[in-house]
Structure 1
Amino acid sequence: MNIRKATPDDQLQIAPLVYTAIHEIAYSLTGTSDQEHVLDRLAMWIGQPGNRLSYENIWVAESDATIAGILIAYHGEQAAMLDEPIKAWLRTNGQPGELDVETEGDVLYIDSVAVDAMFGGRGIGTGLIQQAIAHARAMNIPRVTLNVDQTNPAAGRLYERLGFMKEKEIEISGGRFDYMTFTVSENA
């Protein structure tokens, strides 16, 4: 397995994995309830710089030149700025243009992690999360955070095994999530 930064050319392969990871949130980010349009709009955002879903914020795990998994992560202090292009686009297209705050502050926020079902059970998700932690360590970012859907307890257990601890509960697009934190300096 090879982990690398995404490129704009990866957008069509990445979009379905992002959809798998964020489910209902994808509808909020794209302003549509049609799955085909959601995938097109996710691909659009992935291919553009300067937004939360941009290829600039994505690592991909490849297996035999196939994207087997993705991880989207960005600095929490940039979260509001990265949401602005999406919010503006939503308003221009007749939507409210409001997005829930998912993170903030001096953290590396893991927005999304997904592994293609054909590649499940091979440690790809763990490898991607470890890549994000290594990136935070290299950038001297003290904590890595993520939100795990409370309806997915298996994911919560995985993150706990990797050293994440529940900090609080938040609501995103009508769902309940556990905001979890990994303290980089304590877990060197």
Structure 2
Amino acid sequence: MIRQATEKDAEQIAPLIEQAIHEIAETLTGTQEKEMILERLAWFVTQTGNRLSHENILVKELDGRVVGIVITYAGFDAARLDEPIKRQLREWTGRDVQIDQETEGDVYYLDTLSVDAAYGGKGIGSELLQAAADEGERCGLRAFTLNADQTNAGAQRLYRRLGFVPVKTLAISGGQFDYMERPYST
């Protein structure tokens, strides 16, 4: 079953976020300590109004367990959704932290897609991706977008096969990413 995430899913969602975004998780949590990263990611999931909030997450649940997630939001909401994260990072670290802008405008942005390794190869990622794409289309946005790490050849092939086209290169938390989009049919 794919459903909207809730605050109660936070402890299961945090490791899936960390697994997918690595260095970006360090940036968003202000630490490199794995236990602290997971704790802080889970905290953001329980909150509202930020990019990692349960409000922006769909989960795939099997046997009462979250086995996959997709985090999405409209591009024009990206800067607003990063502000609570910046404020919290200032509180945790005592300094202002720069968060690289990953998207903007009239698009539906796939921030994070992650499946528990034990459930890989079962089509869960594709199912979550399609559920997210459908949601963006219902919102009436012009395109579905994502960032694909340039060093991840498998993800690059998958997204191109699914109709995503690179439109620019972005630097995010020190890595190089292809910003890719797939227009919605109007």
- Secondary structure of 2:179's counterpart equals strand
Identity of aligned residues (%): 53
Does 1:41 find its partner at 2:40?
Answer: yes
Secondary structure, in 3 states, of the residue corresponding to 1:105? coil
Question: In 1, distance between residues paired with 2:95 and 2:17?
Answer: 21
**Aligned residue for 2:151?**
151
| CA offset digits 1:117-150 (Å, max 9, x no partner) | 0000011111111111111111111101100111
Corresponding residue of 1:74: 73
- Structure 2 Cα separation of the partners of residues 176 and 24 of structure 1: 12
Map of 2:122 onto structure 1:
122
- Please give the residue correspondences for 1:89-128 in structure 2 after superposition, counting only pairs within 5 Å: 89-93=88-92, 94-128=94-128
Find runs of 4+ consecutive structure 1 residues off by over 3 angstroms: none
Instruction: Please give the alpha-carbon distance, in whole angstroms, between the structure 2 residues aligned to 1:69 and 1:19.
Output: 12
CA positional deviation for 1:97: 2.0
**1:145-188 per-position Cα deviation (integer Å, ceiling 9, x unaligned):** 100111111011111111111111110000000101010117xx
TM-score of the superposed pair, with normalisation by structure 2: 0.97
- Give the distance between the partners of 1:5 and 1:142, measured in 2 at CA: 23
Comparing 160-169 and 38-47, the one that deviates more: 160-169
Aligned to 1:163: 163
Once residues 92 and 157 of structure 1 are traced to their aligned partners in structure 2, the CA distance between those partners, rounded to angstroms, is 40
Q: CA deviation at 1:80?
A: 0.4
Alignment gaps of 5+ in structure 1:
none
Aligned residues: 185
Letter in 2 for 1:147: N
Q: Shift in Å at residue 89 of structure 1?
A: 1.3
Partners of 1:173 and 1:96 lie apart in 2 by 15
Q: Distance in 2 between matches of 1:133 and 1:64?
A: 25
TM-score (normalised: structure 1): 0.96
Aligned to 1:140: 140
1:92-138 CA distances to partner (integer Å, 9 max, x unpaired)? 23132210010000111100000000000011111111111111111
2 CA distance for matches of 1:90 and 1:134?
33
Distance 2:57 2:172 in 1: 21
| 1:5 to 2:4 alignment | yes
Q: CA deviation at 1:18?
A: 0.3
